[in-house]
Amino acid sequence: MDSRMTFRDRMRSHRFLSTLLVVATLFVGILIGTIIQRGVKGATKAVNSSDATPLKVPAPQQLSNAFSQVAKTLEPSVVNINTESTPKTAANPHIRRRGQQGQQDNNNGGDEGDPFQDFFDRFFGGQGQSPFGGQGGGNGGTERALGSGLIVDSKGYIITNQHVVEKADRIRVKLDGDPPGVQHDAKVIGTDAETDLAVIKIEVSHPLTAAKLGNSDSMNVGDWVLAIGSPFALEETVTAGIVSSKGRDLPGGRQFQRFIQTDAAINPGNSGGPLVDARGEVVGINTFLISPSGTFSGMAFAIPSEIAKPTVATLIRDGKVRHSHLGVGVTDVTPENAQFFHLNDNSGAVITQVEAGSPGARAGLQIGDVITELDGKAVRDAGQLQVVVGQKTPGAKISLRVIRDGKSITLPVTLEEMGSHTVADATAGTEHGKARWGIGLTDMTPNIREELQAPADTKGAVIASVEPGSPADNAGLSQGDVVLEVDRHKVESAADVQRTLGNVAKGHDALLLIWSKGGNSFRVLHSPEAA
């Protein structure tokens, strides 16, 4: 009995010792953990973060106040433009002029041409459209349209888009703060089709508030911008967005048009209004949008201020702009082709075509040359080169740095006015300097053929321009049409057409066979002397 009690006592003793050991272990573990935790906290506090830049997130109220201040500053400089015009009846009712929409557009019929042809058809209230997208008139009646503009001089000079005022018989401007019904008659000072810019002027008895044109080159993708104008006739409308892209070159665009792309809402009626940066400076002139519906869908485009500034200054001074050209075709250097031109990066402009007798040809430029500098300034891409050259005065001498077969050479070039080499005006038989037929022509080149999507066997002269109100305009001829025959004689060049039309006797009409995207058709040019 005593031995069994002793055994139990021993067992109890072992259990007590085991429990005591477990408790002691836990205590020691907690103690060690506490010490380690304090050490880590101490190390964290010891880190020197005095050189770290504090993260500052602007309050929504600050951004709102900035937009509000910019809008208040610019609104007095933004105007509403209303135009009236009497459309001329074209010989071919299916011809679609820039800025016009025929019945086929309204009932989803008609041709299904290049969607970029609709850029000007859908320009914000351009000629032939009401501010709500339909015809302002019709059946020979007065057509009304609207756009926006920007005061750039306190004496009443206003910048807008050419397509807003072209062919307008009457232009009226409504200023910020004018009472309802008060409008000012405006006259066209000058227009430039290559940049789609125009300057108009109103007579005022007091100085107007002129906007400040900023530096579009300093803008970056992602920067905030505001668009101000009169969409759908709703004056002083302000929308906000960001710069989506810069230097945008679009199919169907002209040589000197490199756009700022933005997602700030732009709609019919905004055309000619300003795109403004966060400092309240104008960095672009809103021009068009891309949308299947004709209203804003996230992509709008503005002419950069760096293109607008010299163009406006020249239009105010001379009433027109004379653009220079090299007479070469260029394309961008890409990461894929740079190695073939012995280049270390993808900057520069590669020459793909040299027109015979052009300034570039006389200077010795060759296909495959890469132009990397112009007058000591780097050339980023083909678009920049074309814009810079186009802004030079015809006759100006420039210096080009060219990479040819891996070697750098410098070539002097004397520029010519664009059109002086490739474009021939059919002015034979002119009277007092006025073109007889009102048609400008250029030779068919592979690039032009590809752009027009003309058949390979189409030979003739391409219409480069049509003078408003001329026999060519009245016959319904449009830019991009191809003259195949004159008075049943085949022609293959601009010179052929110029010579043949020049031989037409005064008082006689001329018969032209024309190719356009709709096929071939005959058009009659009525003699201006017979009127």
Instruction: Report how far residue 192's alpha carbon sits from residue 390's, in angstroms, rounded to the nearest whole number.
Output: 12
Instruction: Report how far residue 529's alpha carbon sits from residue 531's, in angstroms, rounded to the nearest whole number.
Output: 6
Instruction: Report how far residue 60's alpha carbon sits from residue 352's, in angstroms, rounded to the nearest whole number.
Output: 51
Residue count of the chain, please give it. Answer: 531
Pair of tokens at residue 501: 């039309």
Instruction: Report how far residue 374's alpha carbon sits from residue 511's, in angstroms, rounded to the nearest whole number.
Output: 46
User: Does residue 185 contact residue 300 with C-beta atoms inside 8 Å?
Assistant: no
Instruction: Report how far residue 260's alpha carbon sits from residue 274's, in angstroms, rounded to the nearest whole number.
Output: 12
Known catalytic residues?
A: 163, 196, 271
Is the C-alpha dihedral spanning 188, 189, 191, 195 positive or negative? negative
Strands 328-332 and 510-516: unpaired
Place of tokens 């030779």: 443
Residues linked to residue 245 through DSSP beta bridges, in sequence order: 261
How far from the centroid of its chain's Cα atoms is residue 97's Cα?
A: 20
Pair of tokens at residue 227: 């668009």
The number of beta carbons lying within 10 Å of the beta carbon of residue 78 is 28
Instruction: Report how far residue 197's alpha carbon sits from residue 318's, in angstroms, rounded to the nearest whole number.
Output: 14
* Strand ranges in 282-368 using DSSP code E only, listed in sequence order: 282-289, 300-304, 324-325, 328-332, 349-354
Q: Quick one: 515 exposed, middle or buried, by C-beta within 10 A (0-12, 13-18, 19+)?
A: buried
How far from the centroid of its chain's Cα atoms is residue 373's Cα?
A: 24
